[in-house]
A and B are shown apart, each in its own frame.
Chain A
């Protein structure tokens, strides 16, 4: 039981390049989330998927797109990377409940955009 896995762990991009961050969970959770963590800002929600087949914007969605490929996988795409997207990205999942359950996080992807 690996929990939430993310690939890659590290990535360096040049401005304008594109890439996809992959996330998978093996806990049969319905909801999945993408966050970014910046110094002094905590974790900010980029996009989330309440269930397979649905996606919604979070607090900071600009410059990103997501795909909920199936129940296990939720990917985050940067179409044209910008230096402002340099951050640590975390994927999380949660079993659909009454709003009181904790989220399980992956180990993160550290992205640098030059």
Chain B
């Protein structure tokens, strides 16, 4: 039973356009959400996060939106660049769970130049 789901295994976008990666969760106890980016043969690196008390967090080209009622979050990358091509993991945690993260299966993003 996956508590965090990324239903799109892959996404292909043209350079300069918007990339939208989606994530759904089932556990209403989750109160903090993160996106990680992973290149081949490297460990995941933190990209951006959002607390459940917010519905939007922006950092440069990256914006994360949270819709708590729908248990859905999305990552927007604008404009997309070829260097953004990577696997993106959505993760969630809950206060009191020892900072443990529950990860989605990941979405492979390919940005074409």
To the question of whether A and B form a pair in one complex, the answer is yes
Residues in A lying within 8 Å of B, measured CB to CB: 4, 31, 33, 35, 40-45, 48, 50, 56, 58, 90, 92, 94, 96-108
Chain B residue at smallest Cβ distance from A91: B43
B46: A residues at CB distance < 8 A? 102-104
Cβ B96 vs Cβ A108 within 8 A = no
A-B interface pairs (CB < 8 A), number: 68
Question: Which residues of B come within 8 Å of A, CB atoms?
Answer: 4, 6, 9, 31-32, 34, 36, 41-46, 49, 51, 89, 91, 93-106
15 sampled A-B residue pairs with Cβ under 8 A: A40-B105, A41-B105, A43-B91, A48-B98, A50-B98, A90-B43, A92-B43, A96-B99, A99-B32, A99-B96, A100-B93, A104-B46, A106-B43, A107-B43, A108-B41
Would you call A43 and B100 a contact (CB within 8 A)? no
A108 touches B99 (CB 8 A): no
Most chain-B Cβ atoms within 10 A of its Cβ — which of A4, A35, A94, A103? A103
A90, chain B: closest CB distance, angstroms: 5
Measured between alpha carbons, how far is A94 from B97 in the docked complex, in Å? 13
A102 and B49 contact, CB distance less than 8 A = yes
Partner of B44, one of A41, A48, A58, A105: A105
